[in-house]
Amino acid sequence: MRLLDRYLLRELLVPLGYCLGGFLIFYSSFDLIFKLHQFQEKQMTLADCIEYYLVTLPETFVMLAPVTLLLALLFAVSNHARHHEFTAIRAAGVSLWRLSAPYMAVGAILTLFVFVVNEFWAPQTSDKVEQIFQRHNGPSSERSLPLKFSNESAGRDWDIKSYNTQTGEMMFPTVIWRLPNGSRKDIYARSANFSNGAWEFKNVEVWTYKSAKDITPDPSTNAALRLPFTETPELIRSEVKVNRLELRKTANSAQLSIGEIFNYLRLHPKLSPSQRAILMTQLQGRIAAPFTCLTVVLIAMPFGARSGRRNVFVGVASSIVICFIYIVFQSVCLALGNGNWLPPVIAAWLPNAAFGTAGIVLISRVR
């Protein structure tokens, strides 16, 4: 790594650390003020509150990372330009694109990190928060609920009286299984557990209909019945989570992972156009969101690199304006995608593409 790169990185990472820490503290403080009454109603202790903010930290980080990077970049770049450091460096034959290389590297690393956090940690936040809220409301931490869902591709309808979302155990499940040859099997069991890639039904009664017109079933009973159904507990959890959310209100949230969206689409390949538009917009939005960190680098360079004796806090004001415009534009695009007015790919990627292109054009015009 060249001496110049180390210098630019040091001048960026210091304000980046301060900005990230400051944003997290301010956000948590204001959130605590608004939710203090709710914490008291849930009888949460100080340890519970600390755990709550540790649990919500990944989701908060995903939301604040692009804003923090933009603010730190504009501050650092404006400071360099204010002291004419960029002018001297460029006079030595170093182009603005070469100057941007260490910043792009930071943006790429942050993009990868945000993607990992957004996919593997942030989607678990809602379940963990609910467990913390319910910790003092009952003797058991397990959660069971009635559940109905269909696996349209396999022709199976499930009706479960009680499904434990933590252990995957079913009580009194009923499965209506329509086979490709026109026959049908109605499976009634007392309980079921998933083990080694198959569901093990206990105390099972199976009614077999030889054709769709058959009204007289052929019943049989089994103490245990093992069936390799494709509805794994992971797929069922995705079904529960998607059904619990109001998709139109969470189309840009971190509550659903890419894997959970794909699981839901596997169970429901014949969704209505409106439902598919919402899910596909969220899917594309989750893929596009981390790349905002790269987009802000392209935007910050031309705004901050112009020479002149400007106050470095001009970067702060610029970041606020840019963030506001980006958020409004992104919200409009996602709303159009959710309403099926724009293709999901365009709705999710248009903000990054538009701002990134604008940044490239402005960088090429910087003298």
Residue 259 forms part of a structural domain: no
Contact 275, 66 (CB under 8 A): no
- Please state the rounded mean pLDDT for residues 7-34: 92
Higher-confidence residue of 275 and 107: namely 107
Q: Which of 229, 261, 277 is the last residue of a domain?
A: 229
Q: Are residues 15 and 129 in the same domain?
A: yes
Residue 123 forms part of a structural domain: yes
Q: Give the tokens for residue 80.
A: 């360099």
Q: Are residues 217 and 163 in the same domain?
A: yes
- Please state the rounded mean pLDDT for residues 16-26: 92
Q: Are residues 33 and 116 in the same domain?
A: yes
315 pLDDT more than 60: no
Contact 329, 351 (CB under 8 A): yes
Residue 248 forms part of a structural domain: no
Work out how many domains the chain is built from and give that number.
2
Residue 143 forms part of a structural domain: no
Element containing residue 192 per DSSP (H, E): strand 191-195
Q: Are residues 7 and 129 in the same domain?
A: yes
Q: Residue 313 — pLDDT band, cuts 50, 70, 90?
A: low
Percentage of the chain modeled with pLDDT above 70: 91
CA distance 56 to 132: 11
Q: Which of 229, 250, 269 is the last residue of a domain?
A: 229
Q: Are residues 13 and 83 in the same domain?
A: yes
Q: Which of 229, 251, 272 is the last residue of a domain?
A: 229
Residue 142 forms part of a structural domain: no
Q: Are residues 102 and 28 in the same domain?
A: yes
Residue 266 forms part of a structural domain: no
Q: Are residues 25 and 72 in the same domain?
A: yes
Q: Are residues 303 and 344 in the same domain?
A: yes
- Please state the rounded mean pLDDT for residues 54-81: 89
Length of the chain: 367
Q: Are residues 39 and 127 in the same domain?
A: yes
Higher-confidence residue of 304 and 161: namely 161
Radius of gyration in angstroms for the set of CA atoms belonging to the chain, rounded to a whole number:
27
Q: Residue 251 — pLDDT band, cuts 50, 70, 90?
A: very low
Q: Which domain holds residue 344?
A: 3-133+285-365
